[in-house]
Amino acid sequence: MPAALDIAALKKAFGNFATGITVVSTRDGAGNPVGITCNSFTSVSLKPPLVLFSLAKTAFSLSAFLRADHFGVSVLARGQEAISTRFATPSSDKWAGVSWHAWDRGSPVIGGAVAGFECRKTAVHEGGDHLLFLGEIERMESRPDRTPLVYLRSRYGHFEAEAPEADAPGEDDPPAC
């Protein structure tokens, strides 16, 4: 690593990139739900519908994600900050008292989320001190009536658009190149 790049400064610089917050989840070998707070989730492709997230090689839940065929993604809503904190804290009891349901292939999805996906794991790639998990979405739900939770500079908030929605590009508008 170049001497000029110190980790604390790098983390701070990365923190300028606003993200949503997800809980990515799966089951362990005994069938227990496993999940972590994750803001590295991103969409990758529409055809086929692919997403990815990166998982620290040191995560306790790594072995469950490596073993599982499927994983779930819950996009957290405004007001779910406590869930984000809970799933970012190593514990064997993360799911106690949390409302969740299972998709067809067993992936847990958090109740009240803005969107949920169940994905078939398609690839795992090296990524430094993380592994990149790619998955193809097999089922999804989306709740546009709920407000997504946003994370920026280590703080939670929500997004206020500067222009009214009518000014945003519509589905029929040509894509920006």
Ligand X SMILES: Cc1cc2nc3c(=O)[nH]c(=O)nc-3n(C[C@H](O)[C@H](O)[C@H](O)COP(=O)(O)O)c2cc1C
Strand partners, 27: 33
**Region near ligand X per CB under 6 A, out of 32-40, 103-111, 115-123, 136-144:** 32-40
Using rule CB under 6 A, residue 80 touches ligand X: no
Using an 8 Å Cβ cutoff, are 98 and 114 in contact?
no
The nearest distance, CB 11 to ligand X, in angstroms, is 11
**Region near ligand X per CB under 6 A, out of 87-95, 112-120, 132-140, 169-177:** 87-95
Among 25, 39, 74, 107, binds ligand X (CB under 6 A): 39
> Distance (Å, rounded) from C-alpha 61 to C-alpha 89?
12
When the beta carbons of 112 and 127 are compared against ligand X, the nearer one is 127
> Distance (Å, rounded) from C-alpha 40 to C-alpha 17?
11
Owner of token pair 């999804």: 140
> Distance (Å, rounded) from C-alpha 14 to C-alpha 118?
28
Using an 8 Å Cβ cutoff, are 75 and 63 in contact?
no
Among 14, 17, 60, 159, binds ligand X (CB under 6 A): 60
Instruction: Name residues contacting ligand X, limited to 106-165 (CB under 6 A).
Output: 151
Which residues contact ligand X by CB under 6 A?
Answer: 21, 36-40, 53-56, 59-61, 84, 87-90, 151
